[in-house]
Amino acid sequence: MSHDTLQDLGALIASGGIEVVDCSGTLGPSTPILQLPEDFAKNTPKVEIHKISEYDADGPFFAWNWLKLGEHSGTHFDAPHHWITGKDHADGYTDTLDVNRLVAPVNVIDCTAECAADPDFLLTADLVKEWEAEHGEIGTGEWVVMRSDWDKRASDEAAFLNADETGPHSPGPTPDCIEYLLSKGIVGWGSQCIGTDAGQAGGMEPPFPAHNLLHRDNCFGLASLANLDRLPPKGAILIAAPLKIERGTGSPIRALALVPKAEVQG
């Protein structure tokens, strides 16, 4: 690579020719948290932010907090060790993964119309191939994210989880979709919903195919992504880096997309 390319990138970021789009939601007590059936599994607690001091008797000239925070809270990263199929990847933890993989071009598949019409919409391999015919092929080492604009519901946990007596209803991928993306050599798959899988994915074969298949192949998941409506279908670079938690299975992230100014949507 030419040294000038990175110089040019730096200059473009500094001048605003490239905009940094914030693809994370705010993390706090009202952040929606996954609720698995209590007879099936334990759950992640709600986020808590506890003040230590704020320029007061507990700390005269400083403010700081401590957190109660599950790894899989808010906009977050799923590492391969999160799922039983990924348990043997030595580099499948937040502190052992290869950080070179975390910065990559991002393919943004717009499913907003389909998701508005059907909250249980499933993206299939055939639909991904149609998207590629229009926008270009998905390349090795790239991120693929499903745009549902589900982040617009994030201020209302009930709307975000969208559960009824039959369980949660939110869009996601089919097993054949994830198998196809893995055949293209993607680094990971992201969703704007509570997890990388559809609300009804527990009934699929295999159950939770995004988790099962991505992590089997040492690939990553991204959940509760925000502001994908500001990204072009292709052309942005996504930086999605988890905290380096010791033997961590995931982590909240500040997901950042580098987008050429002329291509920032909205």
- Active site residues per annotation: 82
245 belongs to the binding site for ligand 23J (CB under 6 A): no
Taking CB under 6 A as the rule, which mask of x and - marks residues 209-228 in contact with ligand 23J?
--------------x-----
Burial class (CB in 10 A: 0-12, 13-18, 19+), 163: middle
Q: What are phi and psi of 99, to 5 degrees?
A: -65, -20
C-beta of 196: minimal distance to ligand 23J in Å? Answer: 6
Q: Which is nearer to ligand 23J, 222 or 258 (CB)?
A: 222
78 belongs to the binding site for ligand 23J (CB under 6 A): yes
C-beta of 213: minimal distance to ligand 23J in Å? Answer: 13
Biggest CA pair distance of the chain: 63
Q: Which is nearer to ligand 23J, 77 or 180 (CB)?
A: 77
Query: Taking CB positions, which residue lies at the least distance from ligand 23J?
Result: 195
* Residue 233, helix vs strand vs coil: coil
From edge to edge, which strands make up the β-sheet containing 220-223?
A: 18-22, 256-260, 236-239, 103-110, 143-147, 188-191, 220-223, 76-78, 250-252
Look at residues 75, 13, 22 and name the one whose alpha carbon lies nearest to residue 256: 22
CA distances (Å), origin 64, targets 58, 70, 147: 10, 19, 35
Q: Which is nearer to Mn ion, 128 or 223 (CB)?
A: 223
89 belongs to the binding site for ligand 23J (CB under 6 A): no
Radius of gyration (Cα) for the chain, nearest Å? 19
Using CB under 6 A as the binding criterion, the count of chain residues that bind ligand 23J stands at 9
Q: Which is nearer to ligand 23J, 34 or 241 (CB)?
A: 34
Residues that bind ligand 23J (CB under 6 A): 34, 36, 72, 78, 82, 195, 197, 208, 223
